[in-house]
Amino acid sequence: MAAALLEMRHIDKVFPGVKALSNVDFTLHAGEIHSLMGENGAGKSTLVKVLTGVYPKDGGTIHLNGKEIYPKTPKEAQEEGISTVYQEVNLCPNLTVAENIFIGREPRRFGFIDWKEVNRRSIELLKKLDVDIDVSKTLDNYPVAIQQMVAIARAVDVDAKILILDEPTSSLNEVETERLFRIVRQLQKQGMGIIFISHFLEQIYELCDHITILRNGELVGSYEVAKLPRLELIAKMVGKNLNDVKDMDKMAEKSVPSDEVFIETNHAASTGQIKDVSLQIHKGEVIGLAGLLGSGRTETAEMMFGLKEVTGGSLKINGKEEKLSNPMAAMKEKIAFCPEDRKLSGIIGDLTVRENIILALQAMDGMFTHIPYSKQVELADKFIDKLRIKVSDRDQLIKNLSGGNQQKVIIARWLATQPRFLILDEPTRGIDVGTKTEIQKMAVELAKNEGMSVAFISSEMDEMVRTCSKLVVMRDRKKVAELTGDQISSEGVMEAIAGGEK
């Protein structure tokens, strides 16, 4: 085998209270697509950030093409030829799409930026990814999926030796993912070394040549993809033996809804957001809201949580017509909502895990009361334990948790309010395989054992099919179909999305 392109040896990284990486080795060859795997909080992103100079390393060496490098800032890493898409989309919302792609390396004429050229080349570049949007609009006009594509476009356009993609596909659909893969393979052929991180096993097996597994910040091993069956991979990631893992994936029996309806909408509409949605959610039912991005799934959920005004039709809870004018009104009806955009509308970064968990409950109790500290600790510990949230202690700042664990804290926040209707908008985005099934199981069990109604929104069809006892399919901000029982299948949903009204 040729000499390695990148060699990281004995990398250590300590955060206050956490040993994020200890003695990790990682080797990447030119023309190789190398996956970095591990549970949430295993240290994958940290390794990437150490490599690209975001965090200083506490020990170890990095060699690029045999020469030792010491990148101290992302800029220096870029200059060494390392191009990166970080896990959380890191672009500037106030700049145009074109600018986000080219900032720092804009084409110039006579020393001034040639905006025409910037726009032209961005359109061209995005076309390669089959994204057709107005590049002169600011980035905040576009949903996360587009933003992710923009970040990718930026990274693949530079002439780099190494391309790092940290969970680039977490909010992409299958088609978009396919396009990304096409480009990645092209770059591979050109001899680039690619590091690819994802929690989707299918994608790993489809795309990658090599897998390096981390667990709790330690190296488990490095394997060729062909020689590592899936179950073994999972077993290595979670650190259990094969037999235990086999049972893990088994899904609980779907819940059987009761006859009582908890919430229903009747031709509900919301100006500019939703056109016509009628649905009934029973007690003990897991209902899925399916549809493409922008089909109105999230907006429907937000309407049931008092974030979007109902301007047409009606909304009934327990048979009584209600006007939910703000989230608190919905919370009083025991409705809970885990939003899609975790960073923007979920976590309160500079508060501790404990405070984040009790926050919704405290808001319900009112501003002038105070949940006693001992009760807060009890609640926090209960959920940290129950959802197996990986924290160094309950008073760690939530912004320092890995993405998956942040998601669990948000779920815990709402479970603490003991809701009767729980809306989960993309709850498994960026969550590791084990936890993903845990969350699915949890949704079903909450419905079965506690008679809770659950609305589940996800872009992953498999997951919806496994979890939901009813699927509402949306298109163009309208409900177009409702599937139950045997009708629930990926094909059924696809047909409904593509076909006419049923």
Ligand X SMILES: Nc1ncnc2c1ncn2[C@@H]1O[C@H](COP(=O)(O)OP(=O)(O)OP(=O)(O)O)[C@@H](O)[C@H]1O
Question: What's at 421, amino acid-wise?
Answer: F
Instruction: Select the residue interacting with other proteins from 146, 331, 379, 389 (CB under 8 A).
Output: 331
Instruction: Select the residue interacting with other proteins from 59, 93, 229, 499 (CB under 8 A).
Output: 93
Min separation Cβ 160 and ligand X, Å: 21
| Count of residues in contact with ligand X, rule CB under 6 A | 19
What DSSP assignment string belongs to 121-180? HHHHHHHHTT----TTSBGGGS-HHHHHHHHHHHHHHS--SEEEEESTTTT--HHHHHHH
The long-range contacts involving 64-67, CB below 8 angstroms and separated by at least 24 positions, are 64/5, 64/6, 64/161, 64/162, 65/3, 65/5, 65/161, 66/3
Instruction: Select the residue interacting with other proteins from 190, 326, 484, 489 (CB under 8 A).
Output: 326
Q: Which residue, 335 or 481, has its beta carbon nearer to other proteins?
A: 335
CA gap 161, 146 in Å, rounded? 25
Min separation Cβ 46 and Mg ion, Å: 8
Instruction: Select the residue interacting with other proteins from 21, 77, 268, 471 (CB under 8 A).
Output: 77
CA gap 328, 324 in Å, rounded? 8
Q: Which residue, 151 or 401, has its beta carbon nearer to ligand X?
A: 401
Contact assessment for residue 162 and residue 194, using Cβ atoms and an 8 Å cutoff? yes
Contact partner, 418, from other proteins, ligand X, Mg ion, none, Cβ < 5-8 Å per class: none
- Residue 87 contacts Mg ion per CB under 5 A: yes
Q: N- to C-terminal Cα distance for the chain?
A: 58
| Count of residues in contact with other proteins, rule CB under 8 A | 59
Instruction: Please report where in the chains the tokens 């060496």 appear, as a residue.
Output: 61
Which residue lies nearest Mg ion, judged by its C-beta? Answer: 45
Length of the chain: 502
Min separation Cβ 407 and ligand X, Å: 8
Q: Which residue, 35 or 45, has its beta carbon nearer to Mg ion?
A: 45
Q: Which of 214, 240, 217, 154 lies closest to 34, judged by CA?
A: 214
Neighbours of 445 (CB within 10 A): 15
Q: For the window 79-118, what string marks contact with ligand X as x by the rule CB under 6 A?
A: --------x-------------------------------
Backbone φ, ψ for residue 315 (5° rounding): -135, 125
Q: Which residue, 39 or 355, has its beta carbon nearer to Mg ion?
A: 39
Instruction: Select the residue interacting with ligand X from 400, 417, 428, 459 (CB under 6 A).
Output: 400
Contact assessment for residue 271 and residue 299, using Cβ atoms and an 8 Å cutoff? no
- Residue 294 contacts other proteins per CB under 8 A: no
Q: For the window 426-455, what string marks contact with ligand X as x by the rule CB under 6 A?
A: ------x-----------------------
What DSSP assignment string belongs to 411-454? HHHHHTT--SEEEEESTTTT--HHHHHHHHHHHHHHHHHH--EE
Min separation Cβ 359 and other proteins, Å: 5
CA gap 375, 379 in Å, rounded? 6
Q: For the window 228-267, what string marks contact with other proteins as x by the rule CB under 8 A?
A: ----------------------------------------
- Residue 216 contacts other proteins per CB under 8 A: no
Contact assessment for residue 424 and residue 454, using Cβ atoms and an 8 Å cutoff? yes
Min separation Cβ 162 and ligand X, Å: 18
Neighbours of 116 (CB within 10 A): 10
Min separation Cβ 17 and Mg ion, Å: 18
- Residue 457 contacts other proteins per CB under 8 A: no
Contact assessment for residue 413 and residue 364, using Cβ atoms and an 8 Å cutoff? no
Contact partner, 38, from ligand X, other proteins, Mg ion, none, Cβ < 5-8 Å per class: ligand X
- Residue 222 contacts other proteins per CB under 8 A: no
Instruction: Select the residue interacting with other proteins from 231, 248, 293, 351 (CB under 8 A).
Output: 351
Query: Which residues are registered as beta bridge partners of 59?
Result: 12
The sheet that has 6-15: what strands, in order across it?
18-28, 6-15, 59-64, 67-68
Q: For the window 40-59, what string marks contact with ligand X as x by the rule CB under 6 A?
A: xxxxxxx-------------
Question: What's at 106, amino acid-wise?
Answer: E
Min separation Cβ 358 and other proteins, Å: 9
Among the listed ranges 13-21, 179-187, 315-323, 439-447, the one in contact with ligand X (CB under 6 A) is 13-21
- Residue 170 contacts ligand X per CB under 6 A: no
Instruction: Select the residue interacting with other proteins from 44, 297, 394, 413 (CB under 8 A).
Output: 413
Min separation Cβ 413 and ligand X, Å: 18
The token duo for 286 is 């897991």
Instruction: Please report where in the chains the tokens 């939910």 appear, as a residue.
Output: 324
Helix %, strand %, coil % for the chain, to 5?
40, 25, 35
- Residue 198 contacts Mg ion per CB under 5 A: no
Largest CA distance in the chain: 73
Q: Which of 275, 290, 352, 238 lies closest to 483, judged by CA?
A: 290
Query: What is the binding site for ligand X (CB under 6 A)?
Result: 15, 18, 20, 38, 40-46, 87, 390, 400-404, 432
Query: What is the binding site for other proteins (CB under 8 A)?
Result: 54, 73-75, 77-79, 84, 86, 90-95, 99, 103-104, 106, 108, 111-113, 115, 137-138, 141, 154, 271-273, 307, 326-328, 331, 337, 339, 344-351, 355, 359-360, 362-365, 367-371, 413
